[in-house]
Structure 1
Amino acid sequence: MKTRNRKWQQASPRGMILGILGIVTLGVAALSVAVSYQILQPRFGGWAVPTVGALDALWCVFQATEILSGNNRARVQRVQWAGIALTAVNAAIPTVDLALRLKHSGSGFDLAVVITPIAIVATKGAWWIALPALGRKVSPATRRTIAERRQTVADQLEKMEADTTDRIELLTLARDLNERVAQAETAYRLSALATQQRMTEDLHEQAEATAATVAEQPLPAMVAGIALPDFTTFTPVAPALPGTPGGTAHPTAGTQVNALPNASGTPGGTESGAPARPAAHLVPLERLASVAGVPVPEAGEQLTDMQIGVVLRHLR
């Protein structure tokens, strides 16, 4: 049992293929012998046995000789042509018999008669195709050397295939990432442009509305006369007007009432029959004008309604 296992393990793939084809060939030869004997026996009698045996035996011998010839074309050429000729003869016997049966009877035929020529031709074709690819018979050591070299080549090819696959995968991933980054950058730029467009449209509408408002309602000249505070010396103290609770009067140094247009009252700032208010209790005209938000009235200038109200308040 151990010897059989060792022989089976030492069997080469070439030997296994030849063994399978040999078994198939013997089976087809046996079928050809049986069918050809049934066809030739009524006509040849006892001579049918050696005739059929010789044809199929030579067919097998020529096939085995073709195997032993190996890849030597000069040696294998004759046996190949001889094998082809015997294949044609063995396949012609059942084919001709089948044709004669169909011609005379018109119905009914044996299935083996149909299968036999097909099997003979197919078997010869299988040998013709497979045998050149098997090569010569080599020793186990040579087979191991060839197998190792083929394994080395196969490993290198597989490594190259893996490297190529990895590079293709990296390039594909880089392409996808570049496309995603480009799409994100495009979306960001589109969003920025859309924001600028909305801002420009809003500012344009606001500018048009402001221009229309300025055209319809121009600002008075008094607005430009409002002095802005100096942040270095600014003190948030509102001036107290005369007559307010807790208000303090400030002296009016050098305030000339008679410099203003004529108004009711005396030039000295007193009304008839009323005692004059001390100068220390007078509120400067400039302060009243600043609180009212109008320019200080000057002598010789035409006064506005608000300036007139400031002067009257100063006189009171």
Structure 2
Amino acid sequence: MFKINQGAPWRPSPRALVLAVLGVITVGVALLSVSVSYQILVPRFGDWAVPTVAALDALWVVVQATEILAGNNRIRARRVQVAGLVLTVVIAAIPTVDLILTLRRAGANFDLAVVLTPTAIVLTKLAWWVVLPALGRGTSADTRTSISTTRQSVADRLEVMEAEAADRIELLRLATDLQQRVAEAETDFRLAALAAQESMTAALHAQAEATAATIAAKPLPELVAGIVLPELDGWEPAAPALPVRPAVTSVTQVSALTGARPITPVTLAELAAVTGVTTPEPGEPLTDTQLGVVLRHLRYSEDPPRSYRKAAGEMRRRGFVGSEERIRPMWRALVTQEPRRPGEESESEEQADDTEAPHPH
């Protein structure tokens, strides 16, 4: 027994509407089949054609309705499906056979309804076969409402997901474009930085080569490296104290040197720096200027040699290299052009000592 809710108006379900439409189409096709089949069979069967045709088409409609009532029960529906196929073949065969016989008779005219009837019967049966499995079982109004609510929730969620996906895609596309623009800007910046470094490196390289050439051509005296740089803590501006040692400008000139020995002897490095030559090193070949610097340094040291022989001996003792042909004239010029120091032998006294000194055999 079906219960009808008297408080609410009855509303047909979508399933009922679909079945109603298919039922109307099926009844219409059945009526068309009855009319055509009657015209074909009445000349041969007479009045027996009426119940025969009506029974076939009515049974065809009943079988379709029974298949609907069977629902999703395949075991129950299988028999009516087979019966419906058989009836479809039978009622469609009547106009089809008549059409074939008519076409074989030369000059015979055939009715258009005879052509449409078997096609309509077959297509109607095919429509039932396609639609019925998708309709499912009949449900109550509450169940349909619940299913509709669930489907609407799913549809809403799917629509929200699609909208979120569309927004995400748009965001990613915009982020991709911005990332590409940022990457291009960073690339331009790095290219500009590399170009600036290239230009700066080229300029510094050229300046470094010029500086290296200048340093090689004009080496700084060691006196410059001996200047102590001021420190931040405790520094006060003050004029640097000037040295009071005699300034030597050449091998043959000593300024402000008197007969008295200076309080602080001039070092070899200072004398070479003032003269403008590299400090003479023991064991290395010396230029004439460096040789003069060494002799002057010995002559004005704390224990200066009194003669050429002592000067030459002191040079060799310290490891400086120089032949007698170079040392003797240089020492003679130094003694002649600069003031004579106390206790220093003259050239005549030195020659006399050389004559009196025994010669080795």
TM-score (norm 1): 0.58
Report the CA distance between 1:109 and its aligned residue.
2.7
Q: Which residue of 2 aligns with 1:65?
A: 66
User: Counterparts of 2:102 and 2:195 in 1: how far apart (Å)?
Assistant: 93
Which residue identity is paired with 2:53? V
Report the CA distance between 1:13 and its aligned residue.
0.3
Change (3 A) 1:98 1:195: farther
Q: Which residue of 2 aligns with 1:46?
A: 47
Q: Which residue of 2 aligns with 1:162?
A: 163
Q: Any stretches of 5+ residues in structure 1 without a counterpart?
A: 212-231, 233-316
Q: Which residue of 1 aligns with 2:265?
A: none
Q: Which residue of 2 aligns with 1:24?
A: 25
Change (3 A) 1:198 1:43: farther
Report the CA distance between 1:192 and its aligned residue.
4.4
Report the CA distance between 1:71 and its aligned residue.
1.0
Report the CA distance between 1:118 and its aligned residue.
0.8
User: SS at the partner of 1:137?
Assistant: coil
1:106-145 equivalent positions in 2, closer than 5 A: 108-145=109-146
Change (3 A) 1:61 1:187: same
The C-alpha deviation readout for 1:205-225, integer Å capped at 9, x for no partner, is x99xxx9xxxxxxxxxxxxxx
1:259-270 equivalent positions in 2, closer than 5 A: none
Report the CA distance between 1:157 and its aligned residue.
2.6
Q: Which residue of 1 aligns with 2:102?
A: 101
Q: Which residue of 2 aligns with 1:219?
A: none
Which residue identity is paired with 1:114? V
1:202-241 equivalent positions in 2, closer than 5 A: none
Report the CA distance between 1:168 and its aligned residue.
2.6
User: Counterparts of 2:45 and 2:94 in 1: how far apart (Å)?
Assistant: 13
User: Counterparts of 1:142 and 1:122 in 2: how far apart (Å)?
Assistant: 33
Change (3 A) 1:195 1:63: same
The C-alpha deviation readout for 1:124-152, integer Å capped at 9, x for no partner, is 01011111111111111111122222222
Change (3 A) 1:107 1:187: farther
Q: Which residue of 2 aligns with 1:81?
A: 82
User: SS at the partner of 2:72?
Assistant: coil
The C-alpha deviation readout for 1:147-205, integer Å capped at 9, x for no partner, is 2222222223333333333323222222221112112222333344456667888x69x
- Which stretch of structure 1 is more off in the superposition, 178-187 or 83-92? 178-187
User: Counterparts of 2:82 and 2:176 in 1: how far apart (Å)?
Assistant: 61
User: Counterparts of 1:14 and 1:86 in 2: how far apart (Å)?
Assistant: 25
RMSD across aligned positions (CA): 3.2
User: Counterparts of 1:72 and 1:55 in 2: how far apart (Å)?
Assistant: 25
Q: Percent identity?
A: 63
The C-alpha deviation readout for 1:97-125, integer Å capped at 9, x for no partner, is 11111112266432211111111000001
User: How many residues are treated as equivalent by the alignment?
Assistant: 211
Q: Which residue of 1 aligns with 2:279?
A: none
User: Counterparts of 1:82 and 1:145 in 2: how far apart (Å)?
Assistant: 37
Report the CA distance between 1:92 and its aligned residue.
0.8
Change (3 A) 1:183 1:54: same
User: Counterparts of 1:48 and 1:150 in 2: how far apart (Å)?
Assistant: 52
User: Counterparts of 1:90 and 1:131 in 2: how far apart (Å)?
Assistant: 22
User: Counterparts of 2:190 and 2:110 in 1: how far apart (Å)?
Assistant: 86
Q: Any stretches of 5+ residues in structure 2 without a counterpart?
A: 1-5, 211-236, 238-361
User: Counterparts of 2:45 and 2:137 in 1: how far apart (Å)?
Assistant: 42
User: Counterparts of 1:200 and 1:36 in 2: how far apart (Å)?
Assistant: 106
Which residue identity is paired with 1:121? V
- Which stretch of structure 1 is more off in the superposition, 151-160 or 179-188? 151-160
Q: Which residue of 2 aligns with 1:222?
A: none
Which residue identity is paired with 1:59? W
Q: Which residue of 2 aligns with 1:152?
A: 153
Change (3 A) 1:107 1:181: farther
Report the CA distance between 1:38 and its aligned residue.
1.3
User: SS at the partner of 1:18?
Assistant: helix
Q: Which residue of 2 aligns with 1:181?
A: 182
